[in-house]
């Protein structure tokens, strides 16, 4: 018996860990590349719970990923207890802990920061309505001179002028263009009509239902729209043409002409504003009653009708910021 015990002891020395009398060895850590997979969806915390594309998801050990267009992420090679943090370009960070002893799912619901993603939606992209897009313009006819009251932003008031008048016919109807006599001649006035009338014809037809007149004066002053009228200042117009934003600004002003009186301040619109809790631009935030419909409708058109022309980050910012307003327009404007 003594010889057997000696032999067993000798075996234990030769084959460490093979004898039942040895303490169990600690489990070998799973290499990161052989670990488990954590996946899930990152959504907005508001009632619409829309997926957040482009959100970042990072495990405390350094593994990171971004969500796809459906808000889905995937982290591989994790094991043990891991703290995971998710955040978005326009959403605050949130963290959760999870034990990875098998493949698991972990979803995140993030709060929007409340910061508008844009200064003004007319300048998100010059490609929302491009100068190469077809125009509804059909013809222009000189109609003589006539006294008109037009708004001049240079003096911030309505002034009476003996305007050059033009009947401008579009596929959807006609407008009277009233050109300030300061341009000096019928030919010079016609040149200004020819510069701006085609661009106005690229604004979607449903946005032009209330259009009646367009006023053209010199000066580097802001455009305006309302009560059926577009106010154009040629100095600012040239800047917009050079930057490629003329049609987008016309869309914005068309919203003042056609949409404001139907939507701004109505119970359904106010409910959409409150449900979102975020404005699409600082301009809309600073003037919620006067500018939010125009700013939001252009963002809606860009995201719903021109999505392929937007940078993905801009499209995601629109979807994440004003989902209720987008739904509001989905139900009321042609798509």
Give a yes or no: residue 3 inside a domain. no
pLDDT tens digits, residue range 52-70? 989 999 998 779 999 998 9
Condensed to tens digits (0 to 9), the pLDDT of residues 243-288 reads: 999 999 999 999 999 999 999 999 999 999 999 999 999 999 999 9
Query: Strand 229-233 relative to strand 213-217: parallel, antiparallel, unpaired?
Result: parallel
Could you give the 3-state DSSP secondary structure of residue 310? coil
Same domain? 127 vs 266: yes
Quote the pLDDT of residue 3.
41
Question: In terms of domains, do 184 and 148 share one?
Answer: yes
3-state SS, residue 7: helix
One domain, residues 191 and 99: no
Task: Please give the residue that has the higher pLDDT: either 18 or 331.
Answer: 331
The reply to whether 79 and 98 lie within a common domain is yes
Of 243, 268, 302, which residue is a domain's last? Answer: 243
- Name the token pair of 302: 């860009």
Q: What three-state secondary structure class fits 31?
A: coil
Query: By the 8 A CB rule, do 86 and 42 touch?
Result: yes
DSSP state of 167: E
pLDDT in tens, 110-161: 999 999 999 999 999 999 999 999 999 999 999 999 999 999 999 999 999 9
Same domain as 221, residue 147: yes
pLDDT at 60: 84
Q: Is 290 found in the same domain as 267?
A: yes
Whether the pLDDT of residue 312 is over 60: the answer is: yes
Average pLDDT over residues 47-54: 85
pTM comes to 0.84
- Region 73-79 average pLDDT: 95
Write the CB contacts of 104 (distance below 8 Å, at least 6 apart in sequence).
Answer: 36, 37, 38, 98
Domain range for residue 228?
A: 134-243
- What is the token pair recorded at 318? 């629109």
Q: Is residue 28 part of a domain?
A: no
96 assigned to some structural domain:
yes
Tell whether 77 and 154 lie within a shared domain: no
Over 60: is that where the pLDDT of 9 sits? Answer: no
CA distance 300 to 307: 10
One domain for residues 59 and 202:
no
Do 214 and 146 reside in the same domain of the chain?
A: yes
Q: What does the pLDDT read at residue 33? A: 53
Q: State whether 146 and 121 are in the same domain.
A: no
Of 243, 275, 293, the position where a domain reaches its end is 243
Rounded-to-integer distance, Cα 69 and Cα 87, Å: 15
18 has a pLDDT exceeding 90: no
Together in a domain, 103 and 168:
no
Name beta bridge partners: 162: 147
206: tokens are 């449903």
For residue 111, the tally of other CB atoms under 10 A from its CB is 14
Distance between CA 332 and CA 280 in Å, rounded?
19
Tokens, residue 76: 């591989």
Distance CA 214, CA 86 (A): 50
**pLDDT at position 25 over 70:** no
Q: What pLDDT does residue 123 have?
A: 98
**Average pLDDT score over the chain:** 90
């Amino acid at each position: 018996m003594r010889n057997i015990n000696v032999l067993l002891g000798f075996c234990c020395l030769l084959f460490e860990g093979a004898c039942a009398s040895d303490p169990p060895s600690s489990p070998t850590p799973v290499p990161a590349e052989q670990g488990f997979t954590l996946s899930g969806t990152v959504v907005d915390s508001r009632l619409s719970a829309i997926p957040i594309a482009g959100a970042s998801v990072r495990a405390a050990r350094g593994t990171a990923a971004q969500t796809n267009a459906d808000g889905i992420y995937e982290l591989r090679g994790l094991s043990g207890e891991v703290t995971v943090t998710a955040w978005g370009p326009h959403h605050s960070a949130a963290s959760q802990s999870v034990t990875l002893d098998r493949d698991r799912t972990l979803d995140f619901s993030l709060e929007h920061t409340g910061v508008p993603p844009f200064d003004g939606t007319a300048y998100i992209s010059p490609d929302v309505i491009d100068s190469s897009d077809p125009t509804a313009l059909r013809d222009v006819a000189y109609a003589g001179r006539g006294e008109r009251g037009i708004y001049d932003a240079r003096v911030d008031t309505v002034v009476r002028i003996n305007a050059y008048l033009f009947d401008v016919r579009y596929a959807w109807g006609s407008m009277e263009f009233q050109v300030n006599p300061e341009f000096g001649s019928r030919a010079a006035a016609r040149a200004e009509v020819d510069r701006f009338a085609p661009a106005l014809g690229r604004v979607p037809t449903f946005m032009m239902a209330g259009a009646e007149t367009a006023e053209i004066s010199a000066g580097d002053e802001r455009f305006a729209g309302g009560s059926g009228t577009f106010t154009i200042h040629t100095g600012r117009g040239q800047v917009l043409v050079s930057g490629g934003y003329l049609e987008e600004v016309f869309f914005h002003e068309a919203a003042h002409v056609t949409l404001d009186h139907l939507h701004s301040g109505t119970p359904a619109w106010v409910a959409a504003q409150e449900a979102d809790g975020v404005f699409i631009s600082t301009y809309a935030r600073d003037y919620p009653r006067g500018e939010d419909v125009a700013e939001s409708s252009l963002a809606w058109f860009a995201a719903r009708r021109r999505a392929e022309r937007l940078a993905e980050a801009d499209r995601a910012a629109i979807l994440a910021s004003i989902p209720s307003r987008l739904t509001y327009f989905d139900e009321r404007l042609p798509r």
